Structure 1
């Protein structure tokens, strides 16, 4: 039973083959590596606590979507936008790496990542107005979601589910932080450790053994230990409070 209703075909009809590579590059806006670059920039140029909070929530979100894919794997659409062989030889490995069309299809990990990262940026940064920041964040989430569908690696329901997971995580974290504002970093990091632990346990029980889950767990625990016992200078270096 398919999860789609023809949305993949519809989007692919409007995207010429010549734009396949740009679409694959645009989908990197929701990749884990790009999210880590953003967090590093926030840590270096804006506010260290905000960066660590976003990092903890990213680990938590990643643990959630990976656990779902491990416990209840469902297939992807398997409707590539273009055949890999039709691309220039030099672009083929980059396209294959960028698309990420292996593994279970539900939910979209890119949708979870973009929701956590860009909505967090809208909350913590002070560029423009609050409305402008959130409109920009929703635009980024929508853009990345559309690229995943257009590339033929996710259905719309996968993207929507990923966005809902990300939003639910953010709302839960902010609700907890509002009741203990002095511990918002610990809350985010703890959510990351718990989620990564569940993900690793699911991987060990269901299999096959994956280094991704081990790395996620190590990152979650390592981040918690580093912030609470190793990090020395935690002072904010931001440009002011969000408006």
Structure 2
């Protein structure tokens, strides 16, 4: 770990962050959201719930759930990795840029999206965007290199660059994060039989979440374990009942409304940070609700 911790930035962060103008900082603060958990949750949900009703990129729901399961695995695994290395972020990573022309009402949002806190190695955004956007490319565009693959790679590259421009990570953080994401994606793609067996990845998320809980009992580790358990248990119960594709757009829309409500409930749990037992069951219910969303949408319209 001492090797990893020595001069992780090689001076690049200081150059990129120090020379970035206010519009550039704001642009990259918005761009980095493409690798944030909330955005990856929306992306995975669209693939899973909307199925073949998704314009141009429609796929079987089980392969969509594979992408969502990658997100759950990422959330659990990045916590384990960061708590193992416990390496700091660059100085000033928690200081929000002062941009006078940004309305006061949005200054809090800017502070949230343009700063970083907690351990810095490896980069969660680089790891998560590689894992989830890479999984998206695999299930939508296949194994062969295509323009879609290049687009997904460009997103990962821009998200990784944004972490340097914002000054919240060192170069080594994002390089290792992206590299680990690629390795984990390759392993899980094989484990899940090319994305067609998402239950296996959900079970991996449970196992990694349990490891995180052994490592450190905290809100984040309990929420990660609860999320994995909720997703895996619910999918075990409804896998055979969930249609591979929605019958029409109304059903897909109804399912996505349920998915959004589940995501909103998880956001409340995250914002409130209740007791650990409530956090566990709240996370399990939220992710379980997200997994049951397609079936719930079908049943709602049937009534």
Whether the TM-score (by the shorter chain) exceeds 0.5 is yes
RMSD, aligned CA: 2.4
Task: Decide which moves more: 58-67 or 152-161.
Answer: 58-67
- What residue is the counterpart of 2:223 in the other structure? 215
| Number of residue-to-residue matches in the alignment | 230
Structure 2 counterpart of 1:75, from 88, 97, 100:
88
Structure 1 counterpart of 2:154, from 132, 136, 139:
139
* Structure 2 contact 48–68 (Cα < 8 Å) conserved: no
Per-residue CA distance 1:77-117 (angstroms, 9 max, x = gap): 12459854444423320111112411000011111110111
Any unmatched runs of 5+ in structure 2?
1-5, 52-59, 248-303
Structure 2 CA distance for partners of 1:100 and 1:214, relative to 1, 3 Å: farther
Structure 2 CA distance for partners of 1:52 and 1:77, relative to 1, 3 Å: same
Once the two structures are superposed, the pairs formed by residues 1-243 of structure 1 within 5 Å of their partners are: 1-46=6-51, 47-79=60-92, 84-87=97-100, 88=102, 89-126=104-141, 130-178=145-193, 184-204=197-217, 210-231=218-239, 232-236=241-245
* Structure 2 contact 139–195 (Cα < 8 Å) conserved: no
Structure 2 CA distance for partners of 1:203 and 1:132, relative to 1, 3 Å: same
Any unmatched runs of 5+ in structure 1?
205-209, 239-243
| SS, match of residue 23 in structure 2 | helix
Structure with more relative contact order (C-alpha pairs < 8 Å, separation 6 or more): 1
Task: Decide which moves more: 14-23 or 193-202.
Answer: 14-23
* Structure 2 contact 141–149 (Cα < 8 Å) conserved: no
- What residue is the counterpart of 2:288 in the other structure? none
Instruction: Give the alignment's TM-score, normalised by structure 2.
Output: 0.70
Instruction: Give the alignment's TM-score, normalised by structure 1.
Output: 0.86
